[in-house]
Amino acid sequence: MGLRRIHRAWWVAVIAFVALLGAGSFRAAPSVLIDPLRDEFGWSRGTISAAVSVNLILYGLTSPFAAALMERFGMRVIVANALTLVAIGSGLTIFVRQPWQLIACWGVIVGLGTGSMALAFVATVTNRWFVRRRGLVTGVLTAGGAAGQLVFLPILAYLADNVGWKAVSLTVTIAALSVVPFVLWLLRNHPSDVGTTAYGADDDDVAAMAVAATAAANSCAGRRAVRVLGQAMHTRMFWLLAGTFAICGASTNGLIGTHFIPAAHDHGMATTTAAGLLAVIGVFDIAGTIASGWLTDRIDSRLLLIVYYAGRGVSLMFLPLLFAEDVRPPMLFFIVFYGLDWVATVPPTVALCRQHFGEDGSIVFGWVLASHQIGAGIIAALAGLSRDQLGSYDVAWYAAGTLCVVAAGMALVMRGGRSAEPDVVPVLATAAD
């Protein structure tokens, strides 16, 4: 009887968490392949980073179209196909012999697959299935995606060091395919598909969701994504959100997620040890992002972003001083702090998109996420090139820290009230228009 009282929305959130956890681990795998591929093929870090850069950028650019496709065809179909695409791209990687092949497999194919399960998927799940606890659920699901990028790195690093880099690719293929049956079994597109309503919804909420779902089902997914972008680009808020999130991506996935392991290795630290530190970031990220979701339901999202970006910027300024052959207390302090802050920016950013752009908030966030990944892709490539040219990553750390301080300033000039009370009139046409 107890299980029957659990709202179906929570089961949808569980399977979404599993899919996002896997997607995160699939996207992060290249960070443990940089040195093994360099050793086997003699490619430079800049060359290998180019594949990571393409992966990150396509991950972001795919997101808004994936959000629109989920509106048109349903989450279950899109996510299942995305996982299959990841499996294909990763599996084909074992046959690469030239850099362009790595870019095609891990950059393009895996980038498209993981992008279809990006954070816009989080926004879609929370907007469809939850009215109450949206901030908390956003935090939990975001934590799943971010933790997946980091928690499984020690396993992948162990495989790369002791079995070979091809084992990493095959492991990702098997893992991606193993999630597909659970998606087909448990994930549902709308509460009405199983005869229920969104968690915490009243009659007005149900009516509004039904109108939005009907309009989305009758629209062209690609055209709607582009239309929403065109309208959002006329607002100041969109550019502030896109700019801050681009810096967020640059300072997390693009720099730490891609280059922390080789940077630590430059200072004599074992690859598995460095991967373990990233895993610790992933563990604390879960706590930090869930806490951020809880705070987003209660505190002005703009103020949260100011604190998150300012703290991140200061911590990055100190990072070049913390690298050593072994793990020392100052590095552990950085790891814990960065873990708590890793994607704590996501719940308030999602809330601001929903607050300012109404029913189009999921697609707007998809475009904002695209800027996140473009920032990540650019910094991933530039950091690899700077390491090749300057012999260290120091300039990259200082530049990213400075950018985070700039992001805090951008958040300061945003306008917005409490995210738990969406009292700002949407500036975009909703899906019902």
**What SS3 state is found at 296?**
helix
One of 1.10.240.10, 1.20.1250.20, 3.40.50.300, 2.102.10.10 is the CATH number of 7-193+213-412, namely: 1.20.1250.20
pLDDT of residue 162: 87
pLDDT of residue 333: 94
Is 424:355 a contact under the CB 8 Å cutoff?
A: yes
Q: With the C-alpha atoms ordered 136, 137, 140, 141, is the resulting torsion angle positive or negative?
A: negative
Q: Tell me, what's the pLDDT at 373?
A: 82
The domain locations on the chain are 7-193+213-412
- 38: closest CA among 26, 29, 51, 47? 47
Q: Is 44 exposed, middle or buried (0-12, 13-18, 19+ CB in 10 A)?
A: middle
CA distance 140 to 143: 5
* 310 Cβ neighbours under 8 A, 6+ residues apart: 404, 405, 408
Predicted confidence at residue 75, as pLDDT, reads: 86
List, for the chain, all residue ranges whose pLDDT scores fall below the cut of 50: 1-3, 218, 417-433
